[in-house]
Chain A
Amino acid sequence: MVVLNSPTDALSDQLKNEPGDEVEIKISRRSRIEKWLFLGPATVFQLSWGWYPMIVAFLLSFTNAALRNRIVFNGFGSYQRMWNDPLTQRAFEVTFTYAAMSIVLTFVIPILVAIFLMEMPPHIMRWMMLLWFLPLSGIANVVLWRYFYNAQIGLFQYIATDILGLEPQRFLNDSNQVLFWLIFPGILLFGPGLIYMAGLQSIPESYYEAAEIEGASFWRKIWTISLPRLRPIIAMLLTFAIIGSLQTFDWPQLMTGGGPGGASRTVVLYMYSIINNARYADATALAIMLFAVIMTITIIFRMLYPEDPDA
């Protein structure tokens, strides 16, 4: 319990008499005001810009969501329509595939890279960290990569054909490869690797020394010390990664517009297409469906992967 003011004499006596019991301490009126002053703006902000739009969107999904004409209750019509829509199923397939690839490539790899970097000489580690701190404009990034991937005049095509002597590559024009190439820039950016490195640095050296004395190999130490100690960080970041990858929109929209052939059209991208056709009710119904899927996956993950390092 947080003690904001000194206990009264009566309470002090009670503490002396019942040291092991939990004692409810009265918070003064002033402290209560302070508490709500601190919490108030954030609460109002969250309610007005987080919960209110969500609740309105949920309600809208049961109407025709007319822009300027009369709004009419529509029941589950939008949900049924989106459930029956073959493109909805395809969008979810693309989204799950993208999320799985993204997590494997941009989440798992940074952990390994961080572990290996910790073994490097300090000056190399510092140079690598300097590179990752360099500022990159988001839009400039997209424009650059669009040029890199252009199948006819792009840099990667030049590397593939003129330097490596390969057949001309399709890159984003190939529906079987497009998701990989959309994720590829994320691999190079190292992602949450810096956070892992901070976590690794907090592991007491004595753990590794004890393991070495016991004859543990490098990989054994990684498996029994590094990864378990990183579990809380991994659990938190993996939760965010799952949610974020299932909501992917910007890169597919900016790079391919969902093509070729809908091979990179995620659920949120399909939602955007429907919104541009002024089908707001259908879009919110699809959003609620996606929300339900993400919530379910996240809950299952949290149940299966406890944060406790000693679990």
Chain B
Amino acid sequence: MKNGKKGLSRRDFLKVTATTAAAVATGATAASAAPVKKPQARQGEVVIQFGLYGFWEIPAEGGPETPGQQAMQAFLDAHPNVKLEQIDFNIWDAGALLTGIAGGTAPAYYMSGVISGWSTAGTLASFKQGLFADITSLYQQYNIDAELSEFAANVNRAKIQTPEGNFYGLPFEIAIGNGIAFRKDLVEAAGFSPTVDWTWEDVRQIAAALTGEFVKGIAMQPWGLGWALTAEGVGGNNLLSVVPAPSTGWNWQRDYESHMGTIVMAVERFRAMMYDDESILTDVTSNDSVANDSLYNRTAAMATIPGQFLTRTGIPWPMSIAEEEGVPFDEIIGYLPQPRGVNGHFGQFPSNQPISFSPTLSSEQLEALIQMYVFLELGEGFDLRRRLAFEESGNLQQAFASWPFVRAKQSIDGVDGTPRDAWGALVDTAEYMSGIAAIPESGAFIPAEANQGPTDDAWNDVQSRLTFESGSMDVPSLVKEAQDVWNTQAADFESSVPDDEFKAAAAEYYAALASFWEEKFPDFYEGTFKEWYETVIADALGM
């Protein structure tokens, strides 16, 4: 008893409650402020942390279950000092990656394009800002170039190696280029037989013919208008709309007015598809996968998708449509590169999508990762994984998924078959697109930028309005507004590249471009590029 009263007094109860709550709050504060768990390695052990949604699988605790896990287990058996941990980190989240890299909590590897905007210049700039590990010595030590296909080694070389010779990435997935996948059976039934030389006018006619009550002719991402503009090389940050401006702080400007007629033509054609033909399936709420998903869901007969999606296995990739329909892949799915522009321009070149490594890794961790890459992507581990996938499914496409391979050897030990056996006529399209050869990129000539610049929001806003607003629109005014906004933004940025250095490098870059277009696409060169190069570019660079 206390103070003559039985049991707990109100004051005592409140004290106990408050003390308990304070203790819990203290614990929560301490836990939340605790250092992030770093891999706890025993003596000689190398612990590597993988993020979510990556490509290399960690063997299950009860033993490897999938072909990918079995291949990884084989690597771990050969390297018993290497331990893998899964962390709850989405490697496709750009913001999270930037924060993780800054804070030292990023997973071991990620696609460099996620934080670089998938461009070569952006990737180089990210390396210069210290967002990727320098793997030069390891790259040379393991002689990786000798194991790569010529395609993988040369396409977008600057995405893995700086002009100064530093390596910061490894080729991981070869993209043959962006194109349009379509239901070949439906297209042929409608009386069309498109070829690699098709145009956007052809696409419009086919899409209109295939549009029905429950099916749209073509599904596109919310920024699908960008495809049509890229075909012409105009708008956004496409070739003819980006001009060097060494007299400004940022060194670059947008110039949409010089080719306004082409922009207006492409926009009006797209809007005719949207609002007259009503043949495009897209929505502002859609994400990037809407096109591929719509093709799989049979709500669209065509879809704008990257080439590498074609050779991915499982739902909702196009290959699964053939499996569900029970017909050979190349009888039901067709794929062609994105159409050319009316001016002869071609905008969808093959690309290399490399992986890079966290700059906070130790040399031991980096070496283990390089060894892992060599085993799983270039060597025995690759053959093992693909052979097991084939044996499990009996499907050659499982063995030759994500073809073409980055490694030089395009066959698989223990699998009796070729890519053509797996993919049929698709191989012809892939070979055509990969044979176009990579266009020279600014990142390979112009020193990497250490500072960040304006976002693409100004153009994206206008592109979005041009896509989703019906009725009459003053396209030239809107496009000019996007140009002016971007240039206003750029005026407040300062490039890290000195003007003289920039001018010399840019001159070299545009000269390489001129040679490329003249050799590969002479009609575009003679009809459009040459005059632009000799007037606009020459003036800008004082040539």
Contact = CB atoms under 8 A, between A and B. Distances in A.
Interface stretch (A84-92, A127-135, A193-201, A221-229): A84-92
A151 B216 CA distance: 13
Interface string A24-55: 00000000001001101110110011000000
Contact of A87 (B359, B468, B485, B493): B485
B492 A84 contact: yes
Given A45-B29, A87-B457, A273-B457, A259 B468 contact: yes
B437 interface: no
A85 B485 CA distance: 8
Given A66-B129, A84-B488, A84-B492, A38 B98 contact: no
Contacts, number: 130
A296 interface: no
Nearest to A44: B29
Nearest to B23: A41
Contacts of B461: 87, 259, 261-262, 265
A81 B129 contact: no
A259 B284 CA distance: 7
Contact of A278 (B19, B28, B222, B452): B452
Contacts of B268: none
B493 A259 contact: no
A86 B22 contact: no
B468 A261 contact: yes
Give the most central of B131, B457, B491: most A CB within 10 Å.
B457
A87 B489 contact: yes
Interface in B443-461: 450-452, 455, 457-458, 460-461
B222 A259 contact: yes
A277 interface: yes
Interface string A64-87: 101111000000000011001111
B284 A41 contact: no
B190 interface: no
A260 interface: yes
Contacts of A146: 285
B283 A49 contact: no
A44 B30 CA distance: 10
A260 B285 contact: no
Contact of A49 (B32, B94, B489): B32
Interface in B307-346: none
A174 B101 contact: no
B511 interface: no
B535 interface: no
Contacts of A279: 452
Contacts of A260: 284, 464-465, 467-469
Interface in B518-536: none
B189 interface: no
A109 B15 CA distance: 42
Contacts of B485: 86-87
Contact of B488 (A86, A149, A170): A86
Given A41-B25, A41-B26, A86-B485, A151 B283 contact: yes
B492 A68 contact: no
Interface string B467-506: 1111000000000000001001101110000000000000
Give the most central of B33, B131, B455, B470: most A CB within 10 Å.
B455
Interface string B358-400: 0100000000000000000000000000000000000000000
A152 B26 CA distance: 52
A37 B26 CA distance: 10
Contact of B22 (A41, A87, A258, A261): A41
A150 B33 contact: no
A34 B18 CA distance: 10
Interface residues of B, number: 48
Given A86-B488, A173-B283, A69 B25 contact: no
A155 to B, nearest CB: 13
B144 interface: no
A97 interface: no
A37 B19 contact: yes
B102 A274 contact: no
A174 B469 contact: yes
A248 interface: no
B130 A68 contact: yes
A67 B130 contact: yes
Contacts of A172: 283-285
A212 B23 CA distance: 54
B260 interface: no
Contacts of A256: 284-285
A276 interface: yes
A258 to B, nearest CB: 8
Contacts of B467: 260
Contact of A80 (B95, B468, B492): B492
Contact of A67 (B19, B22, B25, B101): B101
B457 A262 contact: yes
A277 B455 contact: yes
Nearest to A87: B457
A86 B469 contact: no
Contacts of A274: 455
A262 B456 CA distance: 12
Contacts of A48: 29, 33
A271 to B, nearest CB: 11
Contact of A42 (B25, B33, B450, B468): B25
Interface in B55-89: none
B492 A270 contact: no
A260 B466 CA distance: 9
A38 B22 contact: yes
A85 B299 contact: no
B109 to A, nearest CB: 17
B462 interface: yes
A158 interface: no
Give the most central of B33, B299, B461: most A CB within 10 Å.
B461
A298 interface: no
14 contacts: A38-B18, A42-B25, A45-B25, A64-B451, A84-B491, A87-B458, A87-B485, A87-B489, A178-B284, A257-B284, A260-B468, A262-B457, A273-B457, A277-B455
Given A49-B29, A273-B455, 16 more contacts: A34-B15, A45-B28, A48-B29, A66-B129, A81-B489, A87-B458, A146-B285, A150-B285, A152-B283, A174-B469, A257-B284, A259-B461, A260-B465, A260-B468, A261-B464, A261-B469
Query: Nearest 3 CB-CB pairs, A to B?
Result: A261-B465, A68-B130, A41-B25
Interface of A: 34, 37-38, 40-42, 44-45, 48-49, 64, 66-69, 80-81, 84-87, 146, 149-153, 170, 172-175, 178, 255-262, 265, 270, 272-279
